[in-house]
Amino acid sequence: MKTTFCTAIFAFTLSTGIGLSGIVEKPVEYESAGANCEGWHVYDDSVEGKQASVLIVHQWTGLTDYEKMRARMLAEAGYNVFALDIYGKGIRPKPPEAGQMAGKYKGDRDLYRTRLTDGLNVLKGFPQTDSSKIAAIGYCFGGTGVLELARSGAEIAGVVSFHGGLGTPTPEDANDIVCEVVVLHGAADPHVPVSEVADFHSEMLNGNVLYTFTAYPDAVHAFTQKMAGNDPSKGAAYNAEADEKSWEAMKSFFARVL
């Protein structure tokens, strides 16, 4: 029964990605819905046995150094991490093309879910992965993505959406959610209307989903990303306080569910 609540370390070689710290970072190619995709696997090879694992879903410009940085942070915290690739190998669009590419998947939720599920299955296939201890996180477009993964009925421990879009054309799919949902939202995000927030709460409540929703005051879209700049009037900007607090919220969630 579900209940509801609201509330000088360098790599030895570039090819291997094995560093003095024990952190391994390497690209992983895989197929998804007819596309050749290239994700990024990061883990600590000094850790023996199966590990709690995290899937990362990228923002609208595709899998970039930003997601790789977050993956390394998580690996250094003891997690086995895979940053998937929704768009396909080498497809890393810049605005405004990024908006068109993200819109393609938001407009075709079946394709979006297929790419998400295939990325999750890659993570599950790694020898380091404890399949009983998996969570997913996503940023912006990827924040929307992890919510779609949850709505697809993915049997994982939980998802964390950082400043993601909350809307869905099929809110009844919340009935299929079996994992815990955490949304970390910018209270002043102009890209997510108040009506969308209200609809999301209704969706979660109607689906009897175990979820937490936290809105950070004065934070706009992309508040975890320094590359968004520091001018909130543009609608997307970095907010150091919200970045730190949201990361700590994610860590606390993982400590509980993983």
Task: Return the bridge partners of 211, or none.
Answer: 181
CB atoms near residue 66 (< 10 Å)? 18
Pairing of the two strands 129-139 and 158-162: parallel
Confidence of residue 7 (pLDDT cuts 50, 70, 90): very low
| Predicted confidence (pLDDT) at residue 78 exceeds the cutoff of 90 | yes
Q: What's the pLDDT tens digit per position in 120-156? A: 999 999 999 999 999 999 999 999 999 999 999 999 9
Element (H, E) at 206: helix 194-206
Q: pLDDT by residue (tens digit) across 116-129?
A: 999 999 999 999 99
The CA–CA distances, whole Å, from 112 to 102, 116, 189, 236 equal 10, 6, 24, 24
The pLDDT of residue 31:
98
pTM, to two decimals: 0.92
Map residue 124 onto helix, strand or coil: helix
| Residue found by looking up tokens 């605005």 in the block | 95
- The residue extents of the domains of the chain are 23-257
Average pLDDT over the chain reads: 93
Contact by Cβ (8 Å): 225, 238: yes
pLDDT at 21: 58
183 vs 25: CA distance, rounded Å: 28
Residue 9: is its pLDDT beyond 60?
no
Residue 17 has pLDDT above 70, yes or no: no
User: What is the CATH topology of the domain spanning 23-257?
Assistant: Rossmann fold (3.40.50)
Report the distance separating Cα 112 and Cα 116, nearest Å. 6
Read off the pLDDT band of 11 (50, 70, 90): very low
Q: What is the pLDDT of residues 24-38, one digit of tens each?
A: 999 999 999 999 999
